[in-house]
A and B are shown apart, each in its own frame.
Chain A
Amino acid sequence: MSLTAIAPYAAAWVGVTGLILLVSRDWRVSLSALGAQYVGVFLLISLVWPIEFAVIKLVSGWISAAVLGMGLVDQSRSWVDELGRWRSGTIFRIFIAGFVAILAFVLIPIVGQWILRASDAQIFGAILLMGLGVFHLGLTVQPIRIVLGLLTLLSGFEIIYSTMETSLLLNGMLALVTLGLALTGSYLNAASGAEANP
């Protein structure tokens, strides 16, 4: 099976992982979803880049998830379930994700006119991730969840940007920014935790 054939599934996959990040109550599930999300991002970037270069995104994404995970192992109490006891919060977030998916679908031809090299699956996956990332940012005040939202947003952007900018150094530096964000998230989590447990 060629990479082009699996591209729509990869786009759907990143959407599902983005949704899990949005509705997850457990940090382990969230970080697993983040790791899985980078697999989809890697597949979508592989459409335009050689696999040996696209794998940089996968590795940096997984390291980011690991860094955040290591921070949360010690400070798991800093992860707060924001959804509450009732299902309304979850339903609201699923509804939002559906809305973002429709928006991403509608925007495919418009963005496709700007960025000629991007395939429909890449545009759909990228806008979906960016949209879910932005909504994630708007629905939380927890440092670690904000970093998850930012990483989701940047993942989406990296899919689109890889089709536009072929400079490996630039994309490599974007991967470094991903790692830096994860380190900052882990630090913020530890800083708050140190206050809670002096």
Chain B
Amino acid sequence: MSSPFIWIVLPGMVALILVFLHRYQVISSILAITLSLTLAGLAWMLEIGEVITIGSWAFIIQEQMTILGRSFVISNLVLPQIAIFYLSFTFWIVGALVIPKPPFFTSLSLASVAVLISALSVQPILFAALLLEVAVLIFVLMLTPMGQSVNRGTLRFLTYQTLGLPFILLAGWFLSGIELQAGNTQEIVRAAVFLGLGFSFHLGIFPLHSWIPMLTETAHPYVTSFVITTLLSIGILFPVGFMQRYPSLNENINLLEIIRLIGVLMVLVGGIWATFQRNLGRVLGFAMIVEIGRTFLAISIPDGDKLLFGLLFPRVISFGVWALCLTKLRAHVEDLKFHTVQGYGRRYWIAGIGIVAANFSLVGIPILAGFPIYSILWERLAVNGFWISLAAIAGSAGLMVGGIRALAVLVMGPDELELEEEQEESFFSNMLILMGVSVLFLMGLFPQWFLPALTSISANFGAPAP
């Protein structure tokens, strides 16, 4: 047995079975939750390469699996990352239990996580771009349930992600040439440009970010949040992996400075645009852009890749709670425009609290989950340049204004909203939102519970340097 079989093939097979169980939403969700928790637990406890004894049965888990001459490698080094990914996935599936969602959400989301992990572990790394595209096609199916019109955000998402594929493949080809003839600056610059363009399309880097607010405005908020958060959390490891594998990229051109500039731009653009939005979905979209910017800022500082996993948990929980509340609200209103949802925060006050708490957590307001890790990030950015740190805080301030406007809209409006009896809030979704908000506060109040463990996880996916 090999580790890629456990964490890639097995969930892939279960995802296939879940496709046939799509009519039994609760059963398939429970199966997916059980599997992902088991996989996360195994990743936490197992030691690859050591003899494991269960009764009279002893076996060794190999770290490599070969398919058609290509290797998939999951070593001990990356097991904490795998545990975190499957734990995050569990969180999304638990949230999806209490909301209306597309019938294939559970199976396709499990398949997408398995494919993305396979993309991270495949060697040579060139194949990762193709597996990333497969994950994108799965995401497109998730975003467009049968019987619903295809929204423009999904089409733009598909277009941009596919446009990124050739650039990453070209970059990979040029980089393999650099391995052979070290020190060829022209080739390195060319590879860096292609790599930058490829990941700009994939991760929605300014000015190629338009699909993010378009998706959050029109598509299912929860599915969209899962797609973008997963793509960001796992997708960001690809450029980090390229930089670790090919250090000449950073030696010949100041790549970290460029990444920092991109990060600042993203945070500022996201923050400023969030201020002027008139749609709750679009505010969420621009918050995601700010978060992408922060992630880039994190990897631009020395040893900043250690902050990546520290950023991941507050992000997943904040976006999860926010999306859950928007989905709940969306079930009662035609769209999420400000003039449509006016006053709905008074009627659905728990959803309102969730939206505001999640928004403020992503701003970095003290005592909420984002604050501890963002304050570390801002502090370390300030060491490298005061203005960069200031720009990062300014982006957060913009997001805060967006949040305050959303709060104002949710509590203002007609005194009495006419609501039908069946529009009563459900007990379980309210409980889940309140639990999510409590976790946001707990993570903000007691960062020592989670931050040391998360910031010690390496962002290197175990790819050996050439």
Q: Which residues from chain A sit less than 8 Å from chain B, CB to CB?
A: 114, 130, 134, 137, 141, 143, 146, 149-150, 153-154, 157, 161, 164-165, 167, 169-170, 173-174, 176-177, 180-181, 183-184, 187-188, 190-192, 194-195, 198
1/0 contact string of B149-163 vs chain A (CB within 8 Å): 110101100110011
Report if A141-B147 is in contact (Cβ < 8 Å); known contacts: A170-B127, A173-B130, A184-B158: no
Bound Cα distance A183, B133 (Å):
13
| Count of residues in B whose CB is under 8 Å from the partner chain | 31
Q: Assess the A194–B165 pair: CB atoms within 8 A.
A: no
Bound Cα distance A177, B162 (Å):
10
Binds A, one of B36-44, B138-146, B406-414: B138-146
Q: Assess the A150–B155 pair: CB atoms within 8 A.
A: no
Q: Assess the B68–A192 pair: CB atoms within 8 A.
A: no
Q: Assess the A146–B158 pair: CB atoms within 8 A.
A: yes
Report if A170-B130 is in contact (Cβ < 8 Å); known contacts: A164-B173, A191-B147: yes
A150: chain B residues at CB < 8 Å are 158-159, 162
> Which A-chain residue is minimally distant from B140 (CB atoms)?
A184
B207 contacts the other chain (CB 8 A):
no
> Which A-chain residue is minimally distant from B147 (CB atoms)?
A194
Q: Assess the A177–B134 pair: CB atoms within 8 A.
A: yes
> Which B-chain residue is minimally distant from A157 (CB atoms)?
B166
Bound Cα distance A38, B162 (Å):
19
Report if A190-B146 is in contact (Cβ < 8 Å); known contacts: A141-B155, A154-B162: yes
A149: chain B residues at CB < 8 Å are 159
Q: Assess the A177–B141 pair: CB atoms within 8 A.
A: no
Q: Assess the B70–A184 pair: CB atoms within 8 A.
A: no
Bound Cα distance A198, B146 (Å):
10
Bound Cα distance A153, B127 (Å):
19
Bound Cα distance A39, B277 (Å):
48
Q: Assess the A188–B137 pair: CB atoms within 8 A.
A: no
Q: Assess the B130–A174 pair: CB atoms within 8 A.
A: yes
B70: chain A residues at CB < 8 Å are 169
Bound Cα distance A167, B176 (Å):
13
B68: chain A residues at CB < 8 Å are 169
Bound Cα distance A165, B127 (Å):
12
Q: Which of A173, A176, A180, A195 meets B147, CB within 8 Å?
A: A195
> Which B-chain residue is minimally distant from A130 (CB atoms)?
B166
A134: chain B residues at CB < 8 Å are 163
